[in-house]
Structure 1
Amino acid sequence: MDDLLVIGAGPYGLSIAAHAAGAGLGVRVLGRPMASWRDHMPEGMYLKSEPWSSDLSAPGGRHTLAEYCRTRGITAGHGSPLPIGTFSAYGLWFARQAGPEVEERTVTTVTPHGTGFRIGTSDGGVLYARTVALAVGVMPFANLPALLAGLPPGHVSHSSAHRDLGRFAGADVAVLGAGQAALETAVLLAESGARPTLVARRHRLNWNTVPQPLHRPPLRALRAPHSGLGTGWRSWAWSELPWAVRRLPAATRERIAATALGPAGAWWLRERFEGRVPALLGHDLHRAVPAGTRTRLGLTAPGGASVVLDTEHVIAATGFTPDLARLGLLDAGLRAGLRTVGRSRTPELTALFESSYPGLFFAGLLTAPSFGPSMRFVHGAGFTAGKLVAGVRRRLGARVPQPGRPGWRRTADGQDDLDDLSTVQR
């Protein structure tokens, strides 16, 4: 029986596995490495976050994106966006360097078993673990508006369903949304020979500004500090203080998770978008019906007038909604019994990412209503991995490595790392 089984091999799952292995735990990680990035993002997309804030996390800060790029002669500088393909390759390299070998197996069931868990896989295998970390990424939570859900297959898709947008060359495509995924998808469609139209409820598009230099006069840096989620004190708080967000009332946390760092396009995309992609802003979707091989969208314009948009395909770049009900792999009884954050359908977690069911831990998007918006981004993986593995060690108690055994280390102040676990509760 393994100490920890990590389900998911994206930035969060790989980071958790690296910290668990570094702590001397018996850990396995199941999933397709970097699947969301490799399989669900179109060719030509770029990483929106700065390279220095996009590291996966390993003990001692090793195996960074900068290290990977440096050894391959790739520029990973501030203000220089990196292709998604480069980031995906970095994740695969990190997986080989930092943790146990990833097993490309699909988990189908997670069921309580004694004081641990029974894990079933699609190949018929059965595994057992004392603790489980669910780091399933965003794909189970793709949000398709209800008005589009009834359209026939082939008429509508979520933006995460496309690796190659070249299939839409010469076609009319409506892209719904106002965030980076919508804006960049529309641009890539236009650059692939399609005829995209952006449809958004927002009356204006938000664009991020060109990032300020990393090294600035002290007063300028104090007024608008850099952080893993952008520039400014508010972004800095979401980036650096997720433990403090967790101490806020549940309703406040829900609101922050839903509204902070709202939809915006990257500064480097704006020139490629404006003048090339027509946009219907301030338009609400109220009807969607098939019309032969095409789709007819009924829209309400800002003044209340009805507008009809006839298109060959609709791409909903409408984000991801965390919802425990979509985790079909998790035992239904266990799932129904979990305490949740306020009115949301996300798990309430301890300071060490453990749910109300002992030994069951969560990472990534589902934890945003507990720890804030940084959990929606790669940058949150570092905070998560260290805390979660500390939680696993606490849950395992006497089973964790002891002084003199692999995985034990002494902290900078000379204290036994295991005796100092109380400090990570914040």
Structure 2
Amino acid sequence: MYDLVVVGAGPYGLSIAAHAAASGLRLRVLGRTMASWRDHMPAGMFLTSEPWSSNLSDPAGDHTLAAYCAAHDVTVQHGVPLPVGTFTAYGRWFGEHAVPPVDEVTVTAVRPDFGGFRVETAGGESLRARAVALAVGGLPFVHRPEPLHQLPAALASHSSDHHDLSGFAGRDVTVIGSGQSALETAALLAEQGARPRVVARAGRLRWDRPPQPLHRGPLRTLRDPHCGLGTGWPNWAWAELPWAVRRLPAAVRDHLAATVSSPAGTWWLRDRFETAVPVLFGHRIRAAVAGDDTVRLQLAGADGRSSVVETEHVVAATGFAPDLRRLRLLDPRVRDALRTVGAGRAPELTGSFESSWPGLFFAGLLTAPSFGPAMRFVYGATFTAGRLVRGVRRRLDGRPVAAPALPRPVTPPPAAAPENPSSDEARQPTH
């Protein structure tokens, strides 16, 4: 039996694994290294975070982005956007040097087992673990507007479905959203020869300002401090004090997680976008009707008027909504037993990221309603990794705690039709 199985090999999973290995835990790491970044972000994208705030975490602090760049003769600097490809390569380097070998397999189930958990993979392997850390990233929680749910994949997709946008050259594409993902996807589509437009519920686009210089006078630094989420005292609080956020009332935490990071575009994208992409402001999708090769979008304007857009493809760049009900790899008896916070049913967590099910830990997006908006960014991995591993050690070193009683499995009547889950509810790969 393993002490800890980490499910997911993105920035959070790899950082947890580095700390767990250094602490001497018997460990397995399951998932494709940096899969979300390698396969689900279009080529040509850049990080919104500054390079100095984009480190993965190991206990000694030796495997930073700066160390990778120095070893590979790559130049990065404050105020210059970092290519996603460079960050992905850094994550893979971190996985090779700071973490035990990652098993690049898909986890299909995490089930309760006597004294711990049983973790099953698509290849048929079944592992036993005393503790499990779920660091599955955002892909299980992609959010699409409801009118798009019934459209076929050939006509509608999510922005995370694409690594290569060149196949849209010459086509009319409608991008839904007003955040960085929507705006950068639309700009890249235009640069690949597509004819994109953006449909936004907002009445205008918000653009972030260029970052302040790292080295400033003491007065300016005091007024507007740098932090991993940008500048300013509010951002500093979310970035540096997640432990304090967790002590706030649950309703306040849930509101902060949902509203602090308002949709906005980065300063360096603005010129590329505004000269290439038209925007329909103040519109939401009322209905979407599939044709043979097109989609007919019925839009409702802020003034109540209706309009119609004919397009060849719709890309929903509408983000991710953390919700345990969509984490299909977790046994439903465990899912349903967990204490939750917020309307989206995220797990309520202790200060060491442990859920109400003893030995089951979470990291990343699902922890934002407990620890705040920093958990939506790579920067949050450093806060998470050490605390989570210390929590695992306390769990393993302490007295066994009985898991919640499981309900008896219900056997459906013989005549019951088999369930046919929708694509949004289907089992998700591990990232």
Q: What interval of TM-score do these two structures reach, taking the shorter chain for normalisation?
A: over 0.9
Give how far 1:109 is off. 1.0
1:40-71 Cα shifts (integer Å, max 9, x gaps): 00010011100000000000212000111112
Give the corresponding residue for 1:48.
48
Give the corresponding residue for 2:407.
none
Give how far 1:7 is off. 0.1
1:231-261 Cα shifts (integer Å, max 9, x gaps): 1011000100000000000000010000001
Give the corresponding residue for 1:314.
314
Give the corresponding residue for 1:2.
2
Give the corresponding residue for 2:63.
63
Amino acid at match of 1:166: S
Q: SS of the residue aligned with 1:220? A: helix
Give the corresponding residue for 1:145.
145
1:180-230 Cα shifts (integer Å, max 9, x gaps): 100000000000000000000000111110100000000001111000001
Matches within 5 A, 1:149-168: 149-168=149-168
Give how far 1:275 is off. 2.0
Give the corresponding residue for 1:365.
365
Give me the whole-angstrom Cα distance separating, in 2, the residues matched to 1:293 and 1:363.
Answer: 41
Amino acid at match of 1:36: S
Amino acid at match of 2:118: R
Give me the whole-angstrom Cα distance separating, in 2, the residues matched to 1:189 and 1:30.
Answer: 34
Contact kept, 8 Å, 2:157 with 2:316, in 1: the verdict is: yes
Give me the whole-angstrom Cα distance separating, in 1, the residues matched to 2:355 and 2:389.
Answer: 14
Q: SS of the residue aligned with 1:108? A: strand
Give me the whole-angstrom Cα distance separating, in 2, the residues matched to 1:217 and 1:363.
Answer: 37
Task: Give ranges in structure 1 of 5+ residues lacking alignment.
Answer: 400-426
Contact kept, 8 Å, 2:141 with 2:322, in 1: the verdict is: yes
Q: SS of the residue aligned with 2:183? A: helix
Task: Give ranges in structure 2 of 5+ residues lacking alignment.
Answer: 400-431
Amino acid at match of 2:319: G
Please, what is the CA RMSD of the aligned residues? 1.0
Contact kept, 8 Å, 2:321 with 2:344, in 1: the verdict is: no
1:105-137 Cα shifts (integer Å, max 9, x gaps): 111111111111111111011111110000000
Matches within 5 A, 1:119-268: 119-268=119-268
Q: SS of the residue aligned with 2:133? A: strand
Q: SS of the residue aligned with 1:5? A: strand
Give me the whole-angstrom Cα distance separating, in 2, the residues matched to 1:180 and 1:15.
Answer: 25
Give me the whole-angstrom Cα distance separating, in 2, the residues matched to 1:329 and 1:69.
Answer: 36
Is 1:281 aligned to residue 281 of structure 2?
A: yes
Give how far 1:300 is off. 1.8
Give the corresponding residue for 1:88.
88
Contact kept, 8 Å, 2:245 with 2:370, in 1: the verdict is: yes
TM-score (norm 2): 0.91
Give the corresponding residue for 1:272.
272
Amino acid at match of 2:304: G
Give me the whole-angstrom Cα distance separating, in 2, the residues matched to 1:120 and 1:28.
Answer: 13
TM-score (norm 1): 0.92
The percentage of aligned residue pairs carrying the same residue is 65
Amino acid at match of 1:35: A
Give how far 1:153 is off. 3.0
Give the corresponding residue for 1:380.
380
Matches within 5 A, 1:297-312: 297-312=297-312
Matches within 5 A, 1:340-351: 340-351=340-351
Give me the whole-angstrom Cα distance separating, in 2, the residues matched to 1:398 and 1:338.
Answer: 21
Give the corresponding residue for 2:31.
31
Give how far 1:369 is off. 0.2
Give me the whole-angstrom Cα distance separating, in 1, the residues matched to 2:356 and 2:304.
Answer: 47
Amino acid at match of 2:173: V
Give the corresponding residue for 1:354.
354
Give me the whole-angstrom Cα distance separating, in 2, the residues matched to 1:117 and 1:326.
Answer: 20
Count of paired positions: 399
Amino acid at match of 2:298: G
Give me the whole-angstrom Cα distance separating, in 1, the residues matched to 2:341 and 2:203.
Answer: 31
